[in-house]
Amino acid sequence: MDLSIIIVNYGSGRLAKACVESIRRSAPHALYEVIVVDNASPDDSQELLATEVPDIRFLPQTENLGFARGVNAGIEAAQGEFLLILNPDIIVLEPAIDQLLEFAHSHPQAAVLAGQLLNPNGSVQDSCFRFYSPFTILARRTPLGLLTFGRRHLRHVLLRDYDRTSARRVDWVLGACMLVRRSAMAEVGTMDRRFFLYFEDMDWCRRFWDKGFEVWYVPDARFAHYYKRASAQEVGLSALFHPITRIHIASGAKYFWKYRWEGAAPVRRAP
């Protein structure tokens, strides 16, 4: 098996169905399988995915495992040489999957590769980054990001000095769409299950870098992503009390504690 495509769903069954349909339309030339992990969705996702989405390996869970553990459940069942992890709100644009695989085959040190994510209006989403500092979380989730020093910090972290027209190595990429080389993962391990949501992708990319592998952003491979920051409507101090903001901050605390605020050892970064 060349490729295993893993989709972790929670309450987005119809989007997951559309994602699978877009994979079929893109018709990757590789021999592939599609694995859908459902994290005990509270809606009708499990019934819909089990009855209306043919030719997938469906893995319903009895509890919400979170993103990292959901991905790991899919990896455990996967047989592919490469693993393509997709959010259910991704639409594959032909021939994005083939382009990622071709790039991976020509860059053997690339352990993680991500395509370009597009908003519904065609604009480019932020999906490749420099590694965060603790301040980044506050700048992204609170009004501190609107201040001059906050905007300057975010421009740096969000790679606003990169025009996203050519492939390049980056520190980390969004877990919504990432192609992972199994042979590299055998050295690094799967996602850290301690992260329920957020920072599992940054942590994984950092671990690949630390083992001497590379993380690449490949903008020629394009995917539509119907993503919306859950706390984007919050303003002022209320943003700090938004449930998604609290999860983001908690995951950030786990990440920085794991690496002792990046002071315990030098972090390997993209050139």
> What is the enclosing helix (H) or strand (E) of 133?
none
Is 268 part of a structural domain of the chain?
A: no
Is 47 part of a structural domain of the chain?
A: yes
Question: Are 4 and 79 within 8 A, CB to CB?
Answer: yes
Torsion sign over Cα 185, 114, 266, 199? negative
Counted domains in the chain: 1
Q: What is the CATH number of the domain that holds 100?
A: 3.90.550.10
Is 271 part of a structural domain of the chain?
A: no
pLDDT for the residue numbered 228:
56
Predicted TM-score (pTM) of the model is 0.92
Averaged over 260-264, what is the pLDDT?
A: 56
Is 270 part of a structural domain of the chain?
A: no
Per DSSP bridges, beta strands 128-129 and 172-173 are antiparallel
Which residue segment(s) compose the domain that 251 sits in?
3-262
Q: pLDDT-derived band of residue 238, with 50, 70 and 90 as boundaries?
A: very low
pLDDT for the residue numbered 233:
39
Could you read off the pLDDT of 67-126 as tens digits, one per residue? 999 999 999 999 999 999 999 999 999 999 999 999 999 999 999 999 999 999 999 999
Percent of the chain whose predicted confidence (pLDDT) is above 70: 92
Could you read off the pLDDT of 168-201 as tens digits, one per residue? 999 999 999 999 999 999 999 999 999 999 999 9
> Dihedrals φ, ψ of 9, to 5°?
-115, 140
Is 221 part of a structural domain of the chain?
A: yes
Asked whether residue 260 carries a pLDDT value surpassing 80, the answer given is no
Is 154 part of a structural domain of the chain?
A: yes
Query: Which pair of structure tokens corresponds to residue 221?
Result: 């491979």
Across all residues in the chain, what is the average pLDDT? 91
Question: Are 2 and 31 within 8 A, CB to CB?
Answer: yes
